[in-house]
Structure 1
């Protein structure tokens, strides 16, 4: 058996499946005792963790049950003709079809008995193996909670092709990481929709290819609006009609985006998030989302001294 390991300051990540294929469902070291204990599962299905370099490997071998027998369901049935216990090999036989069943002379007693046996303890069988440390790193960092609204998760993170070629995939969380422009668009769009204060701002475009948010800026004083009402032909009535109302706020665009390669004009393509590693990537995403929501959800009103040439941040 070949075992490969990555040495860290706290222990070793080990695998027997260095280049995991997509058909595997877990580590091929599961079920082995290494250095006297069971390896711990990790965030990666093909890698386990041990506290020290593997020096001893043993395989857990299950032992067959022994003392197969039939015992009476209730001792009250016992008599000189109905024993409390009967060995299985004495009352059962294999027929010509290979089926094991009760012998004819005991079949009338079958409903009175239940089959039982005794378990044997497992044994540990020493395994010959070779161990190779393929890499040494201080630690493997991973963001366990990297999930943004079910849209993007750990498995969607991209890495440099050279890193994917050189390093085992368990180490990739330590390497430069990024998301595509489209993935970043979906994260930001979903986050804004879930956290926007509709009393302060509103979403005016919400599509798979473009997104816009406008701020509601309270006017320094209500503005009187008077619009003429036209007939179905778009002409004035003989006696002109008007609709009058007051406007208390105006709208200002504060955020818009599309994504690459869609680049829906005239919207600005959002750049894909990047990071030095998975943790840094998550930190950068969270920082951006926090800052953009502060901009969107901060209430504003026109400055009454300059009549809207400037705005004032109002108390929330």
Structure 2
């Protein structure tokens, strides 16, 4: 443990790597926390942001932490505004820092502009206590997280929360289902597929397959009006559908329950999610038509 200062010192926690130090003043891991580290200088330099709001990057373990003091006002005065004559009762300059009711100049205060100059007040050294939570061999970067992964109990107990991204992780079935459902809805090509069930408890996608030959059928256009005489029309169907994907977040009828996304670490988890979604959308959006040679008993995938 590195210590500098006594009771009122700034408490810090750090993760040390081969090339840098990650540092935070949220030593208790509070959910709602306002960091002060952006206001400080660590051995003369400001901290660098990371993807975690409470953690910052510095080059080495700090020897001195300082805070820049507010600039000092000097030569505070009141100067007579332009257009007013200088007299014994209204001097050009009143060398006072503040004019209140007790001042001889209070009645004429409105004729003056308050002016001053500033000088650099320098820095105040901040006493601090720093605990190294862990030293990492090699390199480590705090990465941006788009998902909320889960970790096993042992890793949660033995690993600092910031370093959990390096441990095996997985998503809940509910979040896995939500990610797949939202991605398909945002990227489906309605020319080649359509969503036929879209609920929080089940999801179905069907391929739209062009028929090798339009299918003729008859429909009664007055079927919804019992008192009207039947009126039949000949219509043609140019496509048929075939179920290509279905899923549910938990058991529901005969829907398959999604398998949770998982990975050896957070980056591997994200890569596995991206790969699955890309392959799924390639399958969903791939053009399919019935084969003309075998009169629809087979299909042709990607005519080109």
Which range, TM-score by smaller chain?
A: 0.7 to 0.9
Aligned to 2:200: 208
Aligned to 2:124: 125
Aligned to 1:265: 253
Aligned to 1:192: 184
Task: Go from structure 1 to structure 2 and tell me whether the alpha carbon gap of 1:231 and 1:52 turns closer, same or farther (over 3 Å shift).
Answer: closer
Q: Is the 1:142–1:278 contact (alpha carbons within 8 Å) kept by the matching residues of 2?
A: no
| Alpha-carbon distance between aligned partners in 1 of 2:85 and 2:269, rounded to the nearest angstrom | 72
Which of the two has greater strand per residue? 1
TM-score w.r.t. structure 2 length?
0.83
Aligned to 1:14: 23
Aligned to 1:285: 273
Aligned match for 1:308, one of 296, 299, 302: 296
Deviation at 1:50, TM superposition (A): 0.9
Aligned to 2:242: 252
Any residues of structure 2 matched to 1:20-59 within 5 Å, and which?
A: 20-26=29-35, 28-59=36-67
Q: Does 1:5 align with 2:14?
A: yes
Q: Match of 1:270, SS?
A: coil
| Structure 2: gaps (5+ residues) | 1-8
Task: Go from structure 1 to structure 2 and tell me whether the alpha carbon gap of 1:45 and 1:73 turns closer, same or farther (over 3 Å shift).
Answer: farther
| Alpha-carbon distance between aligned partners in 2 of 1:229 and 1:113, rounded to the nearest angstrom | 89
TM-score w.r.t. structure 1 length?
0.80
Instruction: Please give the root-mean-square deviation of Cα atoms over the aligned residues, in Å.
Output: 2.9
| Alpha-carbon distance between aligned partners in 2 of 1:315 and 1:20, rounded to the nearest angstrom | 57
| Alpha-carbon distance between aligned partners in 1 of 2:76 and 2:222, rounded to the nearest angstrom | 98
| Alpha-carbon distance between aligned partners in 1 of 2:290 and 2:215, rounded to the nearest angstrom | 12
| Structure 1: gaps (5+ residues) | 93-100, 147-152
Q: Does 1:217 align with 2:205?
A: no
Deviation at 1:203, TM superposition (A): 1.0
| Alpha-carbon distance between aligned partners in 1 of 2:118 and 2:168, rounded to the nearest angstrom | 52
Aligned to 2:91: 83
Q: Match of 1:88, SS?
A: coil
Any residues of structure 2 matched to 1:290-301 within 5 Å, and which?
A: 290-301=278-289
| Alpha-carbon distance between aligned partners in 2 of 1:195 and 1:297, rounded to the nearest angstrom | 9
Number of aligned residues: 293
Aligned to 1:274: 262
| Alpha-carbon distance between aligned partners in 2 of 1:49 and 1:114, rounded to the nearest angstrom | 45
Q: Match of 2:124, SS?
A: strand
